Amino acid sequence: MSTRPFIPTDSPGSGLQELTELVRSQVQPLLDRMTPIAQRHSLSLDFSSIQRIDAAGAGALVSLYCTASKAGHQFSVRNASHHVAETLALVGLDAVLLNANAEHVSKSGVAVMRPFV
């Protein structure tokens, strides 16, 4: 895995809308933006602004996790709200996705991004 840092250029001021929920209507735009990144870099999504996630959103996270894993990279979610963490725990994804490799990820040039569409 490359240890070269990835500096995302996306910011709320760049015309992108920061997500507050990851639900069915937001899944495809998120996958379109994040899948290429997960194929090239380890990725940790900052969920500090996400207040709600549904089954489609959880499925999108699994898809990004699988994409990153197949490419030899890591994927995690950090700063999840209590409600989002409970939802991921309910479907058994908390142990896999929530800061699964936070210490290693933070030291390995990982892309840390907030989800935008």
pLDDT for 101 equals 46
Which CATH code fits 19-113?
3.30.750.24
Cβ atoms of 20 and 9 closer than 8 Å: no
pLDDT in tens, the chain (117 residues): 443 444 454 544 444 578 899 999 999 999 999 999 999 999 999 999 999 999 999 999 999 999 999 999 999 999 999 999 999 999 999 999 987 544 444 445 567 766 654
Separation between Cα atoms, residue 12 and residue 104, nearest integer Å: 27
Residue 9's pLDDT is what?
45
3-state secondary structure of 78: strand
Give the number of other CB atoms < 10 A from CB of residue 117. Answer: 15
Q: What is the pLDDT of residue 17?
A: 72
Looking at the chain, list the stretches that DSSP marks H as alpha helix, in order from N- to C-terminal side.
24-40, 55-70, 82-90, 94-97, 102-106
Cα–Cα distance, 105 to 86 (Å, whole number) = 23
